[in-house]
Amino acid sequence: MFKPSAKVWMNNHLVPLEEAKVSVWAHGIHYGDNIFEGIKIYKCIDGRSAIFRLRPHVRRLFFSASAIGLKIPFSMIEIEQAIIDTIKENNLVEGYIRPLIISGEGDIGPCPHNNVIHTVIGMGEWESYFNKETIRTKISRWRRDHRVMPFYAKVAADYVNAKLAKMEAEASGFDDAIVLDLHDYVIEMSAANIFVVKGSVLMTPSPDQAILRGITRDSIIRLARDMGIKVKDEAMINKNLLYDSDEAFSSGTAAEVTPIKTVAEEDGEGDKYTDIEEMPIGKECPGPITKKLRELFLKAAKGEVPEYAREWLTYVD
Ligand code: PMP
C-alpha cells in the first residue's frame, strides 16, 4: 500500500495533501493527457537519504510533456529543487516521488490550447511494485505499438493499456503481463522493462520499439557492461527467444530488479481463448546473472559503490 506524505508541492507552494486539488474540469481528468514521473529515494548505508538518478528523471518529465504538447511552467532546476524541498518538508527517508503535470482547466475538446497547467510533486512510502522475490507472468492480449500511443513517454493515458494488461494477468492468477507489439515482438511488462539472458549475453528490446526508455534499464545496462557482461540493448526478442532464455527479469523504479520465474501463454484468438500453458524460464530463478545484477543495482542505489554514488545519487541532507 502507498502511504502518501502530508505535504504536496503544487504550483510553487507547499500545501497540505488535502488542499492539493484540481477542478473536475481539468482536461486531463477527461482525456488522460497528464504526464508524470516515478522516482525513488533510498536510505543509504551511511544513514543519509539519496534520490536515485534525479536529473534523468526530471529530463524525462520534460521530454514526456513535450511529447504531448504540454509546457511545464518551471525550469528543470526549479523542479529538482522543489523535489528536494518537498522531501525535506515531509522528512521522507525512503520512498517514492511522483512529479505530475496535469493538463488543467480551459477548453474541453480533445486538443486544448492554452489550458492551465498544474505542476504537482507528491511523495510517500511505497514497497516494491511486485513485493515478491520472483514473479509468474502471462503474455498479454493487449499490445503496444508506436502508431497507437506515445509509449516512449510517461503519459497517463498510456497506463490504461498497463492497467488492462495487469488486470488480465491477475485475473488468470499471474503477477504481471508481458506485452508484445503488433508484430509479436516482446516489448515490456505492464509498467517495467524486460531483460532476458541467453548464454552469456544480456538482451533487452531496442529503444526504437514501443518501450519506455527506463532509467533502471539504462542503469542495468551500465552495471552489466561494467561487470564485463555482453549486452545487446537493441535486441528483437520474439516469443521463442523468451521461452528459450536462461534467465529473465523485469526492471523499473518501483519494480527494481524482479526475476521472472515463469511465462504463460493462452491458446486461441478473438473471444475464444482456451488453455493456458505456463513454462519455467531457465533452470533456476533467479539465475546467476540476474542475482548479481540485482545485488549490484541495490548496492549502487544505496550508496555502497562510490563511483555510482557520485554519478547517480543526490543526497538530501
Ligand atoms: N516501462 C513502463 C511502461 C513503465 O511504466 C516503467 C516505470 N516507470 C518502466 C518501463 C521502467 O522505467 P524506469 O526504470 O525509468 O522506472
pLDDT tens digits along 141-198:
999 999 999 999 999 999 999 999 999 999 999 999 999 999 999 999 999 999 999 9
Question: What are the backbone dihedrals phi and psi of residue 90, each rounded to the nearest 5 degrees, phi first?
Answer: -90, -5
Q: Which of 26, 52, 239 is nearest to 120 (CA)?
A: 26
SS (H, E, C) 239-265: HHHHHCCCEEEEEECCCEEEEEEEEEE
Lowest-confidence region among 16-25, 136-145, 264-273: 264-273
Mean of pLDDT over the chain? 96
Q: Is 252 in the pocket of ligand 1 (CB under 6 A)?
A: yes
Percent with pLDDT over 70 in the chain: 98
Cα(97)–Cα(240) distance, rounded to whole angstroms?
Answer: 37
Strand pairing category for 193-198 and 201-205: antiparallel
Question: What are the backbone dihedrals phi and psi of residue 77, each rounded to the nearest 5 degrees, phi first?
Answer: -65, -40
Which of 3.20.10.10, 3.40.50.300, 3.30.230.70, 3.40.50.2300 would CATH assign to domain 135-301? 3.20.10.10
Q: Is 209 in the pocket of ligand 1 (CB under 6 A)?
A: no
Cα(50)–Cα(58) distance, rounded to whole angstroms?
Answer: 15
Cα(194)–Cα(86) distance, rounded to whole angstroms?
Answer: 32
Tell me: pLDDT of 22 over 70: yes
Cα(28)–Cα(21) distance, rounded to whole angstroms?
Answer: 13
C-alpha cell at 48: 543519509
pLDDT tens digits along 69-112:
999 999 999 999 999 999 999 999 999 999 999 999 999 999 99
Q: What is the pTM of this model?
A: 0.97
CA of 192 to the centre of ligand 1 (A): 4
pLDDT at position 244, please?
97
Q: Is 72 in the pocket of ligand 1 (CB under 6 A)?
A: no
pLDDT at position 130, please?
84
| Alpha carbon nearest to ligand 1 atom 3, residue | 191
Tell me: pLDDT of 48 over 70: yes
Q: Domain residue spans in the chain?
A: 2-126, 135-301
Mutation to probe ligand 1, out of 36, 37, 144, 193 (largest number of atoms < 8 A from CB): 193
How many other CB atoms are there within 10 angstroms of residue 302's CB atom?
Answer: 19
Residue 4 half-sphere exposure toward CB, CA atoms < 13 A: 11
Contact 114, 104 (CB under 8 A): no
Lowest-confidence region among 18-22, 217-221, 266-270, 284-288: 266-270
Tell me: pLDDT of 123 over 80: yes
Q: Is 212 in the pocket of ligand 1 (CB under 6 A)?
A: yes
| Alpha carbon nearest to ligand 1 atom 12, residue | 214
CATH 3.30.470.10 fits 2-126, yes or no: yes
> Which are the contacts of 163, defined by CB distance < 8 A and separation ≥ 6?
190
> Which are the contacts of 175, defined by CB distance < 8 A and separation ≥ 6?
130, 132, 135, 136, 137, 169
Q: Is 34 in the pocket of ligand 1 (CB under 6 A)?
A: no
pLDDT at position 131, please?
80
Contact 4, 124 (CB under 8 A): yes
Tell me: pLDDT of 305 over 70: yes
Atom number of ligand 1 nearest to Cα 252: 14
CA of 47 to the centre of ligand 1 (A): 27
pLDDT band at 271 (very low <50, low <70, confident <90, very high): low
pLDDT at position 268, please?
72
How many other CB atoms are there within 10 angstroms of residue 144's CB atom?
Answer: 22
